[in-house]
Amino acid sequence: MLVNSITILAFKSGDGVLDKKGELYLVGMGLSYKYLTLEALEAIAKADRVFVDTYTGQVDLEGLEKVLAKSFVKVSRRELEEGSGRVILDLLEEGKRVVLLVPGDPLVATTHVTLLLEAHARGFRFHVIPGVSIVPTALSMSGLMVYKMGKIATVVYPKDGIVYEYAYDVIKANDSLNLHTLLLLEYDGEKGIAMRASEAIEILKSIEEIKREGVVRDDRLVSVVASLGYPDFIVCVGELKRILMLKVEVVPQTLVFASPRLHPIEVEMMKVVSSRWCRVE
């Protein structure tokens, strides 16, 4: 039985939908500026204006300035979300070719998806240049198999005394299917917020104390991936109680809960990557 029906229309040039000259380029920077692709650099070189999102992920602005042949402007969350991207849309109205550089992959954050939809609704052409994302790279760099990757969740700090339990519930659901859980940790470059894996573990343990469902145990095998894409990146694998004791300071960080039943190759790979990249005391 047909449950839902969606009609998708593809409009070709000249149909009257995309008839404005301004063009938007959403460009993924990858894990750091060193991951910019040739296609990304070509788009930047041809752009009239270049903006850089610095709040959804870490950006080495000094390093970026060295590799780009033109100036760029930082764009804030307020300008993209509260301002509905007007600073960019106005330039598109003037017929400009505008590049928005985004940490990781450009369509992972809903902020950038919303901007693309608005640009399209106004009749502007858009282009998307993918970049290497923490999803699923943090998982594979932990030595785990991507085809066993389960639902993703974000661990956030308690707000107004409320502890959000969603991440805990996602781990539990993935465990039931023997899937790995990749947990993004709260990050806001503008506000200087960068949650550490140890903080995330403490939050999850506090939820465990309430729920008592045996999901977040001291003997759980987890990995912490920090500052991936930069020379000082770290990957440490071990039991939760051991990872909690490590002093991993570089950010941003990602926490991975390995599935309850691992493939032998995963076990071996986790040992190898940790011995190579766990560069902390």
Express each pLDDT in 105-144 by its tens digit: 999 888 899 999 999 999 999 999 999 999 999 999 999 9
Superfamily of domain 23-129: Tetrapyrrole methylase, N-terminal domain (3.40.1010.10)
pLDDT score of 3 more than 90: no
Find out whether 230 and 183 touch, Cβ atoms under 8 Å: no
pLDDT at 82: 73
Q: What are residue 98's DSSP bridge partners?
A: 24, 49
The overall average pLDDT reported for the chain is: 91
Q: What ranges do the domains of the chain cover?
A: 23-129, 134-277
DSSP state of 107: T
Query: Peptide bond before 130: cis, by omega within 30 degrees of 0?
Result: no
- Greater pLDDT, 281 or 131: 131
Find out whether 11 and 18 touch, Cβ atoms under 8 Å: yes
What mean pLDDT do residues 43-63 have?
Answer: 92
pLDDT at 179: 98
Q: What are phi and psi of 153, to 5 degrees?
A: -145, 165
Q: What is the pTM of this model?
A: 0.90
pLDDT by residue (tens digit) across 9-52?
555 544 445 567 899 999 999 999 999 999 999 999 999 999 99
pLDDT by residue (tens digit) across 182-218?
999 999 888 889 999 999 999 999 999 999 999 999 9
pLDDT score of 273 more than 90: yes
CATH of domain 134-277: 3.30.950.10
Find out whether 254 and 228 touch, Cβ atoms under 8 Å: yes
